[in-house]
Structure 1
Amino acid sequence: MLTTSARLLRLVSLLSSRPSWTCGELAERMEVTDRTVRRDVARLRELGYGVESDPGPWGGYRLSGGARALPLLLDDEEALAVAVALRGAASSGVLGGDQAVLSALLKLQQSLPRRVAERLAGMDATFVHAHRPGEPQIAPGTLLELAGACRGGQRVRLSYRDGGGRDSVREVDPYRLVHNGRRWYFVALDVARGEWRTFRADRVVQVRGTGQPVAEPVELPDPALLVVRNTGTGRYPVYASVRFPVPLEEALRLVPASVGTHRPDGPGACVVEIGGPDAEGLARYLLGLAVPLRVLGPQEVRQALLRLLRGVAEENGEEDGG
C-alpha cells in the first residue's frame, strides 16, 4: 500500500498524463476506493494544485492552470531520455547561449536514481557522435562539470590544453559558460595572474575542486563581451596598453572589466589593455577619463593623445593682453 504522500504524487502524475479522468478510473489505476480518490483530490486542492471536476456520472477530474507548479514525475525510461536529449542539446549548442539547458541537466543528473545514472554513463562510453569537419568535440560530461563549477562558488584546478597542444594546470575562480558560434567558452578568473580569462570548453582536460571558496571580485565582467574580445571575433582594430598610477580596485572603477583587461603593476599601479576603433577614438576615450595615465603603446595612440592635449591647452591658454 502506498503512503499518503506517495499516493498524492501518483495522483498528480496520472492527472497530468491526460486531459480528464473519472473517479472510477483513478481509483482503479491507484488501487484504492472512490472515497480515497475524492479525499486525495481535496488534499491536493488544499496544497494549492488546481484540480477541477465536472458533476454527474460522466464527470471527471482534470488539472487546470493553477498557481502552483506541478512536480515532474518521470519513470526510469523517461528520465534517461530527457538526460540524453539535454546532453545532446548542450554539446551541440542548438540552444545558442541559453544556459537553462545546462542548469536543467545539472539538476536532473543530481536527482537521477543510481540505476539510471549508471545506464547514462554506459551510454556515454559507447555513443559516438559524428562531428562535422572543424567542429570542436567536447568530452561527455565536461559541460556539466563546468556548469557545476560555475554554480558551486568553489575555486577549481583546471587542467587545460591550448591550441598548440601544450598542457597547463591553473587555479581559477569559475564565473560563466558562454556559447559563441559552435563553441562553448569557460569564463573564469585566473588566480595566479589576477586576470579574467576565457577557456575553450573542448580543450578542458579535467576540472577538480580545491575546497576553497571563490574570491569576491571587485567588479564582474560581461562574460559575453569578454569572449567576443578574446576570441578574435569582433576584435577592435587598435589596442593600447595604458598604465594608471592607481590600485587595481580603482582602475576597475575607471575602466570597467567589460571594457579593458586589467593586471596589477606593483602595489599602487595597474596596466589596462583597452581596444578602440582607431587611435583617435582611443585617445578621446582616455582623455575623457580625466585622470593621470601613461600610454605604454602603441606610438600612434600616444601621439593622438598628445595632439588632443595640445589642442585643449591651446584653446584654454591665456588670451593676449589679458
Structure 2
Amino acid sequence: MSDTPARLLNLLSLLQTPREWPGTELADRLGVSPRTIRRDIDRLRDLGYPVQATMGAIGGYRLIAGTAMPPLLLDDEEAVAIAVGLRAAAGHAVAGLEEASVRALGKLLQVLPGRLRHRVGALNTATVALLPGDGTTVDPDDLTVIAGAVTNRERLRFAYLTYDGTASRRNVEPERLVSAGHRWYLVGYDLDRDDWRLFRVDRLGEPHATGARFTPRPLPAEDAAAYVAGKLRRPTLTTIVATVHTSAEELRRRFGRCDGSIEPIDEHSCLLRTTDSVEWTAMRLLRLGHPFEVSAPEEMRVFLRSLADQANHAAGGGS
C-alpha cells in the first residue's frame, strides 16, 4: 500500500482493536515491510497516538490510554451502535450524561454517511422504550437541532405549546440547553416578546435553524442553569416511606428513578424509601396500580386523602 495517509488510517484502525499486533503481522496486513511499519508507528506517535511497543519474540504494538482523546476510527456497525446509544441517553434522564450525549450525538450525526443515518433512523423507528416517571420524553433529533443552533449562534424557529394548551410559533435566539431532573429546558431570547424565555423541550416541535446569526446577549442571571433554577418552582423534598404490595423487582422496574431504596418484605410486598416531592411520589405510586400504605410523612397521607375526596366528588359521590 503506497498511499501513506490511507495506510496510516488502516494501521490506526487495526491498532484500535484491543489486542497486541506483531510488526510482521501488521506488515502482512498492509502489504509493506516491517521497516515501513516502524516508520508509520513513529508518525502516529508524532500525531499524538500513544502506541506502545513490546520487545521480544512475542512482542508487538498496541494502542494504550494517553493523556488526551485521539480521533477514533469506527466501522459501520460501531458507528450505528454508538449513535443509537447516544440517542437513547439524550432522550432520557441519565444523570450526568444528558448534555454530553447531545453534544456527542450532534458531532456524530454531522459526519455519519447517509446510509448509516438511514439505519439509525430505522432502528429508532422500530423500537420503543418503557418510560419511568410521568412519561414525558424528548425527541433526540430535536435536541441535536437545538444544540446545533446554540453552538452556531443561529436563530431558531419552532412550534410551542404552553402549559395551558395555547399553541404558538416562536423565533428565538437560543442561549443554552439545560437538563433539570426529569426534563430538558431551552433558555433563549424570544424576539417577538423582546425578553428572555424558558421553554420546555417536550412541548416544543418542528425546530429548525434559520441560518440567521446573532450576537449573544447578557443573561439576567449568572448562567443558564441559574436562570432555570430561578424560574422553576422548586418542590419541597421529603423522605417518604411506603409499603407497596408488589415484589421489589417489579417496583424497581416500574417505579423508575428512586433517590432512596426499595427493599423486599416478602415475595409480594416491599418497602419504598425515597426523598422527593410528596405530589410527584403520590402520582407515581398511584400510576402503578398496586395497593400501598404510607408510613411517613403525615403530609403524604393528607395529600392522598385530598386526592381521594376530589376523585370521589368527580365521580358523583360527593355533595
Same fold (TM over 0.5): yes
Match of 2:35 in 1: 35
Match of 1:72 in 2: 72
Note the C-alpha offset of 1:18.
2.3
Are the structure 2 counterparts of residues 216 and 65 from structure 1 closer, same or farther at C-alpha, using a change threshold of 3 Å? closer
Match of 1:228 in 2: 229
Q: Is the 1:198–1:227 Cα contact (8 Å) retained in structure 2?
A: yes
**What is the rounded CA distance, in whole Å, between the counterparts of 2:124 and 2:63 in structure 1?**
37
Amino acid at match of 1:100: A
Amino acid at match of 1:232: R
Are the structure 2 counterparts of residues 219 and 181 from structure 1 closer, same or farther at C-alpha, using a change threshold of 3 Å? closer
Q: Are 2:183 and 1:183 equivalent residues in the alignment? A: yes
Note the C-alpha offset of 1:26.
1.4
Q: Highest CA radius of gyration, 1 or 2?
A: 1
Of residues 58-67 and 128-137 in structure 1, the stretch that sits farther from structure 2 once superposed is 58-67
Show the 5 A alignment for 1:87-106.
87-96=87-96, 99-106=99-106
Amino acid at match of 2:234: T
Q: Is the 1:97–1:178 Cα contact (8 Å) retained in structure 2?
A: no
Deviation per residue, 1:266-285 (Å, 9 max, x gap): xxxxxxxxxxxxxxxxxxxx
Question: Identity percentage over the alignment?
Answer: 42
Amino acid at match of 2:157: R
Q: Please, which runs of 5 or more residues in structure 1 have no aligned partner?
A: 236-322
Q: Is the 2:15–2:63 Cα contact (8 Å) retained in structure 1?
A: yes
Deviation per residue, 1:137-160 (Å, 9 max, x gap): 223411111111211201111211
SS at match of 2:16: helix
**What is the rounded CA distance, in whole Å, between the counterparts of 1:53 and 1:90 in structure 2?**
39
**What is the rounded CA distance, in whole Å, between the counterparts of 2:54 and 2:139 in structure 1?**
52
Amino acid at match of 2:228: V
**What is the rounded CA distance, in whole Å, between the counterparts of 1:225 and 1:104 in structure 2?**
24
Are the structure 2 counterparts of residues 220 and 76 from structure 1 closer, same or farther at C-alpha, using a change threshold of 3 Å? farther
**What is the rounded CA distance, in whole Å, between the counterparts of 2:88 and 2:45 in structure 1?**
38
SS at match of 2:128: coil
**What is the rounded CA distance, in whole Å, between the counterparts of 1:199 and 1:215 in structure 2?**
20
Q: Is the 2:92–2:137 Cα contact (8 Å) retained in structure 1?
A: no
**What is the rounded CA distance, in whole Å, between the counterparts of 1:37 and 1:43 in structure 2?**
10
Match of 1:45 in 2: 45
Q: TM-score, normalised by structure 2?
A: 0.67
Match of 1:299 in 2: none
Match of 1:150 in 2: 150
Are the structure 2 counterparts of residues 147 and 52 from structure 1 closer, same or farther at C-alpha, using a change threshold of 3 Å? same
Q: Please, which runs of 5 or more residues in structure 2 have no aligned partner?
A: 237-319
Match of 1:7 in 2: 7
Match of 1:58 in 2: 58
The alignment covers a number of residue pairs equal to 235
Are the structure 2 counterparts of residues 63 and 130 from structure 1 closer, same or farther at C-alpha, using a change threshold of 3 Å? closer
**What is the rounded CA distance, in whole Å, between the counterparts of 1:227 and 1:66 in structure 2?**
37
Q: Is the 1:135–1:182 Cα contact (8 Å) retained in structure 2?
A: no
**What is the rounded CA distance, in whole Å, between the counterparts of 2:167 and 2:93 in structure 1?**
26
Deviation per residue, 1:108-131 (Å, 9 max, x gap): 110111111111122232222222
Q: TM-score, normalised by structure 1?
A: 0.66
**What is the rounded CA distance, in whole Å, between the counterparts of 1:148 and 1:17 in structure 2?**
32
Q: Is the 1:97–1:180 Cα contact (8 Å) retained in structure 2?
A: no
Note the C-alpha offset of 1:65.
4.5
Match of 2:286 in 1: none
SS at match of 1:118: helix
SS at match of 2:178: strand
**What is the rounded CA distance, in whole Å, between the counterparts of 2:115 and 2:18 in structure 1?**
28
**What is the rounded CA distance, in whole Å, between the counterparts of 1:91 and 1:98 in structure 2?**
8
Note the C-alpha offset of 1:208.
2.1
Q: Is the 2:90–2:140 Cα contact (8 Å) retained in structure 1?
A: no
Note the C-alpha offset of 1:187.
0.8
**What is the rounded CA distance, in whole Å, between the counterparts of 2:23 and 2:83 in structure 1?**
34
Q: Is the 2:158–2:206 Cα contact (8 Å) retained in structure 1?
A: yes
Amino acid at match of 2:226: L
**What is the rounded CA distance, in whole Å, between the counterparts of 1:200 and 1:2 in structure 2?**
55
Q: Is the 1:83–1:105 Cα contact (8 Å) retained in structure 2?
A: yes
Q: Is the 2:103–2:147 Cα contact (8 Å) retained in structure 1?
A: yes
